[in-house]
Amino acid sequence: MSILSRYTAREILSHLAGVMVIVLAIFIVRRFADFLSDAAEGSLPSHVLLHLLGLRTVMALPSLLPVGFYVAVLLGLARLHEDNEMTALAACGVPARRIYAAVIAASLLAAVVAGGVSFWARPWAAVMFHVVRDQAAREAGMDQLSPGRFYELESGSEQAVFAEARSAADPRFVENVFVQLRDSKGVAVLFAARAVEQIDLQRGYRFLRLLDGYRYDLGAGSETFDITHYEELTIRTPLEAVTPGSTQDHSLSALALARSADPEDAAELQWRLASPVSMFLLGLLAIALSRFSPGTGRYTTLFVAVLLYLAYSQLLGTVKKWVANGLCSPWPGTWAVHALCLATAVLLLAANRPDDLGLRRWSAAIGLPSRAKPRPEING
């Protein structure tokens, strides 16, 4: 690798590090707020939040890496233009295509990394995320309960629990607990001065022990009710089974996805391929945009670049959904969006300084106006 290539790669990597720190920080803050909301509702234990956040971040990397690399290339090339380093290189007889070749090489290397994350790291993280989340929700007990809120003892059941406060002497216990049990025979309302929950993972049950309370049984259609005082009453509820079936397509290998006739599997395969392909195409588009109206400043170019990226990413997501729902054929599928991005980059390259990349004859052939100035003739 030449000194010029190493310098260009170092410039891109320095900007990539800064951009990814900002992108990941925004992503982590947003996701962490969602997890905190689930923890506050008692559906997730607080000790698994960081674990889930890390797995969710790995799952998002195939989508975050291309945009980070795209912005890094734009900022790196913009700095070279603004500091007149490109002009100095041209004065020394170094063509701009050598810089662009280094950027393309970096794009190919970044595409390989993104492919590894998309095809191996993301499926693993998706499966682990759902396993950890479902297992944590399955084992969450009264210690995660926030006083003053209603909770279902079993998802989708007719059993609900409400606790007024947590015991100051022993945080495992909650005080002034109300439980509603509803079935075909009627409704039963239980009150307990204190309650504690125990979970038996081997047997697959959770046991809610109610201490020193009353049971009010209201029969169906009856105007009377029975009152029973008890010192201790235990309610047994089966633990919900962990069913990570919704992540089956994420855990399948690329070969299994390619052999499958299911449209959702075809969409998942194209989505995995989108990350490395986007990494290369966005690098090419960044090169084209860096040569487009260089006098307007880096932030104007960055604004146009963001608009193009938003259009590209939205089209990818929309077409992926169409393929998954059977509204669009897997071929070309998302490849049509990639082709549109490639065509945009090539047209911009041909229309702006085509001599830098040897595209002068191509722009003339398709009738595009060239921004390149003719070289002055030297007599003698």
pLDDT at residue 377 in the model: 47
Residuewise pLDDT in 10s, the chain (380 residues):
678 778 888 888 888 898 899 999 998 988 888 777 766 655 566 677 788 888 889 988 998 999 999 988 888 888 877 777 777 877 777 777 788 888 888 889 999 999 999 888 888 888 888 888 777 666 555 555 566 666 666 555 567 777 778 777 777 788 888 888 877 777 888 888 888 877 776 666 777 788 888 888 876 666 667 888 888 888 777 655 544 444 445 667 778 777 877 888 888 888 889 899 999 999 888 888 877 655 555 567 778 888 899 999 899 889 888 888 888 787 888 888 999 999 988 888 777 654 444 444 444 544 545 444 444 444 44
Place of tokens 């490639």: 342
CA distances from 257 to 178, 248, 249, 260, 325 (A): 50, 11, 8, 5, 16
pLDDT value at residue 245:
45
Catalogue the E-assigned strands of the chain.
150-152, 159-166, 174-183, 186-200, 205-219, 225-238
Place of tokens 């702006």: 352
pLDDT at 21: 92
Partnered with residue 213 across adjacent β-strands are 192, 230
Nearest to 69 by CA among 12, 108, 22: 12
Q: Which string of DSSP letters, residue by residue, matches 117-166? A: IIIIIHHHHHHHHHHHHHHHHHH--GGGPPTT-EEESSTTSSEEEEEEEE
DSSP 163-212: EEEE-SS-TT-EEEEEEEEEETTEEEEEEEEEEEEEEETTTTEEEEEEEE
| Residue pair 53/136 in contact by the 8 Å Cβ criterion | no
Whether pTM exceeds 0.75: no
pLDDT score for 3: 80
Which residue ranges make up each domain of the chain? Answer: 3-137+254-365, 156-239
Amino acid 240: pLDDT = 55
